[in-house]
Every structure is written in C-alpha cells, then in structure tokens.
Copies of this chain bind each other. A is one copy, B any other.
Amino acid sequence: MIGIPAVSNSRKPLPVDLVGALSERFGARFQMGEAIRLEHGKSETHFAPMLPDAVVFAESTDDVVAVVNLCRDARVPIIPFGAGTSVEGNTLAVHGGVSLDLSRMMRIIAVNTEDFDCVVEAGVRREQLNEYLRDQGLFFPIDPGANATLGGMASTRASGTNAVRYGTMRDAVLALTVVTADGRVIRTSRRARKSAAGYDLTRLFVGSEGTLGIITEVTLRLHAIPEAISAATCSFETIGGAVDTVVQSIQLGIPLARVEILDDMQIRAVNRWSKMDLPELTTLFFEFHGSERYVEEQVETVKELAAANGGGEFRWAHRTEDRNALWKARHEAYYAAVNLRPGAIGWATDVCVPMSRLAECIGETKTDLERSTVPATILGHVGDGNFHVVFSMDPNSSAEQDEVATINRRLVERALAMDGTCTGEHGIGLGKQEYLVEELGEAVDLMRSIKKALDPQGLLNPGKIFQ
C-alpha cells in the first residue's frame, strides 16, 4: 500500500520506566503487540499506517488521568482512540506514543427523559445509545454513517445525515468531562440547555480532535422519536434540479429531517453493493419527521417542488425495515464506492459551501471527475451544503494518488473561493492542514496559542490539525 505519510515518523522507543509503570497499572490492558498497534495505527482511508508504541485500554476517567500523568512525566505522546472510523488520519500515531483506547468506556451513565438529555462514557457508540433509548421514546439524531463512539464524534465535530434538522455535534453536546494535559478532570458545563457562564469550553473541545484534552464523558441532547417518519427516494434529470428542490424546500420552511444527494455513479455503486434497483441517476434520499398530518403536508410540498425541478416518482420506504434498508445502503455508500474496483482503497473528500453555490460546486466537481481516470462518486448532506467525493484508488499506483490529490486540491480551493470550508464534518487531522491555513489564515495562530496554553508540552495527539 502506498498511502500518504503526511509527516516524518521520527520517534524514540518508549522509556523503560513508563513501560513498567503502565504495565503495572494496567496489566493486560497495556499492550505492545504488533497486531494491536497496527489496529490503532491504521486508517480507514488512504493514509499509510503510523503505529503507536503501545495501546492502553481505559475503563474509567481515573484510568485516563493515570495515563496522562504517566505519559506527561515521560514526555510521551497520547493519542485518544475510539472506534477508529475517522477518515483524515485523525488517530494515527504520527510521533509514536501511547494510543489511549476509550472503546471499553461504554456505560450509559444517566438518561434524563424529562430533560431530553443523557450522560454517556466516551466509548459508547451511537447505535448502542439509540438501542438503549428506543423504549423510552427518545433518540440521538447525529448520524455520521459509521457506528462511531460518542467521544470520537464529539472530538471531530461529526454530523451526517440528520444535521439539516437536528444540527451537528456542536449543537448536540451539552457538556463534557475532560482530562486536561496536566491531569485534571474538568466538566465544561452544567446540564442546563443554555448558559452564558464564561467561555464556551464545551464547543472548544468539540472538534479539537483530542489535541486539547481527553474527553471521557459526554452529556448529549436527545429528541423525542417523532410520531410519524417517512422516507423516500427521488431521481432527477440534473444535479441542479435535485439541489434546487432542496433549497426551495428549506426556503419554504420544510423541516427536512434528512436529505442526501447521491450522483449516478454512487447509485450504481449502491445498487451493486446493497443489491438495490434504483434508477442510475442523481437521486435524493429524503426523510420526514413530525405528526402524521404534518408529515403529509411536508411531503405534499416537497413532491410538488421535485416535480417542478425534473424529479421523477417518489419511491417510498413505508415500513420500518424498508426504511432501515434504505439508510443502511446510504451508510454503506463509502464502501460501495471504494469497491467499484476490487482491491481498491478509498479517499473520501469533504467540503461544505453556502447553499447558493452548491449546485455550481457539485457541477464543476462532476466535470473534474468525468475527466479523471480514477472512478469516483459524489454524495452528500445536501441540506447543509456539504458533500463528499469518494475515490476508488489503485493502492499500487502513485499516479492515481497524485491525480486524486490534484482533484482534491481543486475541490477544496473551489469551496474556499465560494466562502465555504475545507471540511464540513471530517475534521483536519493530517489531511487538511495546509487547507486550514488557506481557509482561516492568521486565525490558525490563535488556535496554536490555545493549544500551547492548554497542552504546553504538545503531548495530546501531536501533529494533528497543525504541526
């Protein structure tokens, strides 16, 4: 595999004293074997593996404090690790060190049904949480596709299919318990739904990719499961027709719960991977939430708009199992796209632009893809102006990798020129560092100052977001 080593992987071996101390404190939960290090040092996408020197499996906030204190004294990097589903190399051990695996911290600490919130450990996964909540008539809406941990989702400011209606992790997180670089345990906020009490530390840690502190507990806003849920797909003659349907729906105040765009190539991939028979055209996947009457009203309006914009028939997924099959297919779209070629590896891009520029941005990108030799699909959260390209790359071809890198650069620069962002939801990690500076200029210096203030030794997930 080629992969992209974004920075040189210079490192010293772990100090013997640290190995002894971690081994004594954690026993079998401290591991240095090659296989487990590879599991924690590889990426789901195109980045070459960068292995940590060791892995510790934490089971409590106290465990995290212990790891932070021991590693700090030994000046060894700590890389928090959840499900490993991030796509910008966010958990790779650029400078070696200890991968701090929080996936065993999976207790659901409290569900406050009357307050529509819950408190979970950082390793709880979103599907686990929703299974737990279902009987109480509640759900947690943020859905990035992957069955990620809530701590990881907070760290990357994840969003996904429901963000158009329910917001992103920025909006969903009420409070965090964080272990700081100096080993203190802080809680960033109380459980009130809003607060004006000092700096917004919650939002500072959300999206900081483990570089400012280690999130060990997450307090989340929940929502009532709606009385009625309807999902449908609708094919369009043009990308512009699909995008215009969404823009006009939002202008009319329709609270679309989900609205996803998949281009013709992506539909072909989905049909093949998930054994579906959708027309191989640009398609919107819709979901509507509300009372029975209100969902009907929403559907009526959106159908009219779709028809006026060259949309075909709505294909409904009425039963819960049909709806689940539809969204499962959407969630597996990345794997479907990568597997357009056997043995290929994936590269998933991610930009977000103001809605008024979205059709243009997708259109120009589609032109680039049509000229490319690497198969690629477009899919995205069209209600937010956020979309991805997934490339299906030959792992042994550096020419393909260069070609994709060029298209990716063009895409990001196109988005920035439209006052958009280089990443809507994947984060900066290793892959977007130069673009972060292009996007925000000297504001990145402020980020560096904050990093230095909160992690003066630079031991928390070093080499991510910026060098």
Measured CB to CB, the residues of A under 8 A from B are 112, 114-117, 156-159, 163, 167-168, 170-171, 180, 184, 186-201, 203-204, 206-208, 212, 223-224, 226-227, 247, 250-253, 255, 290-291, 293-294, 297, 350, 352-356, 384-386, 415-416, 419-428, 432, 435-436, 439-447, 449-450, 452-454, 465-466
Contacts and interface: CB of A to CB of B under 8 A. Distances in A.
Most B Cβ at <10 Å: residue of A186, A293, A419: A419
6 contacts: A157-B200, A192-B385, A194-B425, A197-B421, A197-B435, A197-B440
Given A115-B354, A224-B251, A206 B197 contact: no
Within the oligomer, what is the number of copies of this chain? 2
Nearest to A176: B443
A428 B200 CA distance: 12
B420 A187 contact: no
A440 B189 contact: yes
A355 B195 contact: no
Contact of A290 (B212, B253, B442): B253
Given A198-B444, A226-B253, A356 B192 contact: no
Nearest to A114: B356
B180 A194 contact: no
B424 A192 contact: yes
B180 A446 contact: yes
Contacts of A163: 194
Nearest to A223: B253
Most B Cβ at <10 Å: residue of A196, A203, A427: A196
B115 A196 contact: no
Contacts of A189: 421, 440
A426 B194 CA distance: 11
A442 B184 contact: yes
A115 B356 contact: yes
B446 A454 contact: yes
